[in-house]
Amino acid sequence: MPELVFFSGTMDCGKSTLALQIGHNRSARGLQGVIFTRDDRAGEGKLSSRLGLVTEAVEAAPDVDLYAYLVNQLSQGGKADYVIVDEAQFLAPEQIDQLARIVDDLGLDVFAFGITTDFRTRLFPGSQRLMELADRIEQLQVEALCWCGARATHNARTIGGEMVVEGAQVVVGDVNRPAEMVGYEVLCRRHHRRRMTSAAARAGALSPDVLPVNQP
Instruction: Name the 3-class secondary structure at 21.
Output: helix
Stretch (H or E) spanning 17: helix 15-27
**Cβ 20 vs Cβ 55: under 8 Å:** yes
SS (H, E, C) 158-205: EECCEEECCCCCCCCCCCCCCCCCEEEEEECHHHHHCCCCHHHHHHHH
Which one is catalytic: 44, 87, 138, 166?
87
Q: CA nearest 64: which of 41, 90, 31, 33?
A: 90
> Is 180 among the residues known to form the active site?
no
Give catalytic residue positions.
87
